[in-house]
């Protein structure tokens, strides 16, 4: 493993003496910053340095000064934009409540404020909002009223919108001076439409983001959502695995919760996904996952070997991005790792239908086959552009 | 953007002091700027009631610094703020849908 990747790993695990050793041995500062940026952990690194590494010798601190300044700028930027996000969230909820619309907020809106050690440490690109199918049109009305516009032409009717979000492109809304919104119809938004998620809505909880309350899924569906999401992106950026890490550190997982988690995972037939996501988290960051839980989820050796090869766990361990597009990952996640054979066949036929028949299906297959380096590069550009949006005034 | 006669900071900017850093977040540009103490002080004075000369005089008094030295610094800071579109544009100050004189809005005769 490259020294920069080893330093990033030690940094995120809070291993101060190992980090000092690596810095003294010499790390390429530009390479390190780029790696932290690709994995969207620069703000977190800044925070950990200031709060967890308290015995850094002077010579090491001096050596790190240029990096630390850069990391600090990232932290300040994310602190400020997440602080502003609270306003966007509470305004959305207030507008939904006025129309009697139920909503659930996923991932960033909850992990940043409830799980991470500081709200400025989690990069948040957009607001992941889950709604019920019948509320699609009123939700679009509310979003439009708040100044949002859909990125692409909107599908006609709720049914079409649901199909598009599962088998085609995500529904994405943006507005001036507001965080973009990505619309979901299922918390576990993979595979076939019409999954029973009543238990998720019934078990949802209120969460105060500071200035107002949003509703989020309970601990089990939230962890499930994060596990599947991390896998969908091939565990890159590392921030996705850190979402799991900090979620589990934030508490609320007793033996009963773990039992429910295992039961849900088994019902969804995605034990392998859950096992590998949690196992890699434990391995990379020392995440507290009960041994008996991993034992209960562990698949057979053939499954472990094929999973490791397809999802390139070796690259994940070396902090190298998976070079495959997200669409490919999303489809393959369901086809390889989830559900029953019958549902997979149905899913393939739905994908074909949504893609516009046989020709569309062929083009989809081609995109799966030829999924290239694009995703990794796009992610790199995106995180670098966020980095540059900061300026020091004299 | 040209420097307004009486600089007025946009209302939607989020301004915070985090530990020892003064930061301003612009939600429109999704942009964060970090300020030193002097720049933060100047920013605070940009409330639409002071002209550049008055800002310079206030800064010189607060920092017990000679006016000619302060003028250069203030000009640079205001220039930076204007280049980041942090000021309300003259034409944006309206009343009843009609553009009005900024001095009037700020309560000056």
Q: What is the reported pLDDT for A382?
A: 46
In tens digits, chain A (394 residues) has pLDDT values of 689 999 999 999 999 999 999 999 999 999 999 999 999 999 999 999 999 998 999 999 999 999 999 999 999 999 999 999 999 999 999 999 999 999 999 999 999 999 999 999 999 999 999 999 999 999 999 999 999 999 888 988 898 888 888 888 789 999 999 999 999 999 887 777 778 889 999 999 999 998 899 999 999 999 999 999 999 888 889 999 999 999 999 988 999 999 999 999 999 889 999 999 999 999 999 999 999 999 999 999 998 999 888 888 888 888 886 666 667 777 878 888 787 888 888 888 888 888 777 777 677 667 666 654 444 444 444 444 444 465 655 5
Per residue, what are the HEC states of chain A? CCHHHHHHHHHHHCCHHHHHHHHHHCCCHHHHHHHHHHCCCHHHHHHHHHHCCCCCCHHHHHHHHHHHHHHHHHHHHHHHHHHHHHHHHHHHHHHHHHCCCCCEEECHHHHHHHHCCCHHHCCCCCEEEECCHHHHHHHHHHHHHCCCEECCCCCCHHHHHHHHHHHCCCEEEEECCEEEEEEECCCCCCCCCCCCCHHHHHCCEEEECCCCEEEECCHHHHHHHHHHHHHHCCCCCCHHHHHHHHHHHCCCCCHHHHHHHHHHHHHHCCHHHHHHHHHHHHHHHCCCCCHHHHHHHCCCHHHHHHHHHHCCHHHHHCCCCCCCCHHHHHHHHHHHHCCCHHHHHHHHHHHHHHCCCHHHHHHHHHHHHCCCCHHHHHHHHHHHHHHHCEEEEC
Sequence-distant (≥ 6) Cβ neighbours of residue B61 within 8 angstroms: none
Q: What is the reported pLDDT for B97?
A: 41
A302/B contact by beta carbon, under 8 A = no
pTM: 0.86
Interface probe with B: pick from A43, A73, A80, most Cβ of B within 10 Å: A80
pLDDT, tens digit (0-9, with 9 covering 90-100), for B10-52 = 999 999 998 888 999 999 999 999 998 999 999 999 999 999 9
Residue of chain B whose alpha carbon sits nearest to that of A81: B25
pLDDT, tens digit (0-9, with 9 covering 90-100), for A8-20 = 999 999 999 999 9
CB spacing of A393 vs B80 below 8 angstroms: yes
- Cα torsion A363, A365, A371, A375 to 10°: value is 70
CB spacing of A389 vs B32 below 8 angstroms: yes
CA distances from A311 to A127, A304, B42 (A): 27, 11, 53
**Which chain B residues are closer than 8 Å to A73 by Cβ?**
32, 34
Which of B25, B73, B84 is the closest to A80 by Cβ?
Answer: B25
Q: What is the reported pLDDT for A378?
A: 44
What is the ipTM for the molecules in this complex? 0.80
In terms of C-beta density within 10 A (0-12 exposed, 13-18 middle, 19 or more buried), how is residue A74 classed?
Answer: buried
**Which chain B residues are closer than 8 Å to A394 by Cβ?**
36, 38-39, 73, 76-77, 80
DSSP-based three-state secondary structure for B31 = strand
A vs B: CB pairs below 8 A: 65
Interface probe with A: pick from B13, B27, B80, B82, most Cβ of A within 10 Å: B27
**Which chain A residues are closer than 8 Å to B74 by Cβ?**
none
Q: Which of A131, A141, A138, A197 is nearest to A162 (CA)?
A: A131
Give the pairing type, strands A205-208 and B94-95. Answer: unpaired
A69/B contact by beta carbon, under 8 A = no
Q: What distance in Å separates residue B18's CA from the closest CA in chain A?
A: 8
Sequence-distant (≥ 6) Cβ neighbours of residue A87 within 8 angstroms: A211
Q: What distance in Å separates residue A382's CA from the closest CA in chain B?
A: 13
Q: Are A13 and A358 in contact (CB under 8 A)?
A: no
Whole-angstrom distance, CA of residue A92 vs CA of residue A146: 8
Q: What is the reported pLDDT for A368?
A: 64
Q: What is the reported pLDDT for B96?
A: 44
Q: What is the reported pLDDT for A355?
A: 77
Q: What distance in Å separates residue B39's CA from the closest CA in chain A?
A: 7
pLDDT, tens digit (0-9, with 9 covering 90-100), for B66-94 = 998 899 999 999 999 999 999 998 665 54
CB spacing of B18 vs A73 below 8 angstroms: no
Q: What is the reported pLDDT for A334?
A: 80
CB spacing of B30 vs A392 below 8 angstroms: no
Whole-angstrom distance, CA of residue B89 vs CA of residue A274: 53
The interface residues of chain A toward chain B in range 161-190, judged by CB-CB distance below 8 A, are 176-178
**Which chain B residues are closer than 8 Å to A387 by Cβ?**
none
Residue of chain A whose alpha carbon sits nearest to that of B80: A393
**Which chain A residues are closer than 8 Å to B84 by Cβ?**
391
**Which chain B residues are closer than 8 Å to A77 by Cβ?**
25, 32
DSSP-based three-state secondary structure for B76 = helix
Residue of chain B whose alpha carbon sits nearest to that of A73: B34
Q: What is the reported pLDDT for A80?
A: 95
**Which chain A residues are closer than 8 Å to B76 by Cβ?**
394
A123/B contact by beta carbon, under 8 A = no
Q: Are B56 and B67 in contact (CB under 8 A)?
A: yes
CB spacing of B23 vs A176 below 8 angstroms: no
Give the containing element (helix H, strand E) for B26. Answer: strand B21-26
User: How many CA atoms lie less than 13 Å away from A185 in the CB half-sphere?
Assistant: 25
**Which chain A residues are closer than 8 Å to B38 by Cβ?**
394
């Amino acid at each position: 493993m490259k020294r920069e990747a080893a330093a990033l790993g030690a940094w995120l695990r809070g291993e101060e003496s190992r980090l000092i050793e690596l810095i003294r041995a010499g790390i390429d500062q530009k390479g390190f910053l780029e790696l932290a940026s690709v994995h969207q952990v620069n703000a977190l690194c800044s925070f950990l340095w200031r709060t967890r590494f308290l015995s850094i010798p002077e010579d090491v601190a001096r050596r790190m000064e240029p990096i630390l300044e850069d990391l600090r700028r990232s932290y300040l930027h994310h602190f400020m934009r997440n602080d502003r996000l609270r306003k966007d969230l509470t305004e959305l909820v207030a507008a939904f409540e006025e129309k009697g619309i139920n909503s659930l907020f996923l991932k960033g809106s909850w992990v940043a404020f409830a799980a991470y050690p500081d709200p400025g440490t989690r990069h948040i690109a957009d607001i992941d909002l889950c709604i019920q199918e019948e509320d699609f049109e009123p939700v679009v009305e509310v979003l439009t009223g708040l100044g949002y516009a859909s990125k692409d032409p909107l599908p006609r009717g709720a049914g079409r919108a649901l199909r598009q979000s599962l088998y085609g492109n995500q529904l994405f809304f943006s507005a001036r001076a507001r965080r973009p919104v990505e619309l979901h119809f299922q918390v576990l938004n993979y595979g076939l439409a019409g999954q029973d998620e009543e238990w998720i809505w019934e078990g949802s909880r209120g969460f105060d983001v500071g200035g107002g309350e949003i509703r989020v899924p309970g601990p089990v569906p939230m962890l499930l959502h994060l596990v599947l999401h991390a896998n969908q992106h091939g565990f890159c950026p590392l921030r996705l695995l850190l979402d799991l890490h900090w979620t589990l550190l934030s508490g609320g997982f007793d033996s009963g919760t773990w039992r429910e988690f295992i039961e849900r995972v088994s019902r969804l037939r995605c034990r392998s996904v859950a096992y590998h996501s949690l196992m890699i988290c434990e391995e990379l960051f020392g995440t507290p996952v009960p041994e008996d839980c991993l034992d209960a989820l562990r698949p057979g050796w053939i499954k472990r070997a094929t999973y490791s090869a397809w999802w390139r766990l070796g690259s994940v361990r070396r902090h190298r991005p998976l070079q495959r597009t997200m669409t490919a990952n999303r489809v393959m996640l369901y086809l390889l790792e989830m559900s029953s054979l019958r549902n997979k066949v149905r899913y393939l036929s739905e994908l074909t239908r949504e893609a516009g028949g046989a020709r569309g299906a062929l083009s989809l297959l081609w995109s799966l086959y030829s999924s290239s380096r694009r995703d990794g590069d796009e992610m790199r550009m995106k995180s670098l552009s966020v980095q540059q949006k900061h300026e020091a005034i004299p | 953007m040209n420097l307004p006669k009486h600089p007025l900071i946009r209302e939607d900017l989020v301004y915070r002091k985090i530990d020892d850093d003064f930061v301003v977040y612009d939600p429109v540009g999704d942009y964060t700027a970090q300020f030193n103490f002097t720049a933060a002080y100047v920013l605070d004075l940009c409330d639409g009631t002071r002209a550049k000369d008055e800002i310079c005089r206030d800064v010189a008094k607060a920092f017990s610094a000679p006016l000619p030295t302060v003028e250069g610094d203030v000009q640079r800071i205001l220039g930076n703020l204007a280049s980041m579109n942090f000021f309300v544009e003259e034409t944006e100050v309206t009343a009843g849908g009609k553009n009005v004189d900024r001095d009037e809005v700020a309560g000056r005769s």
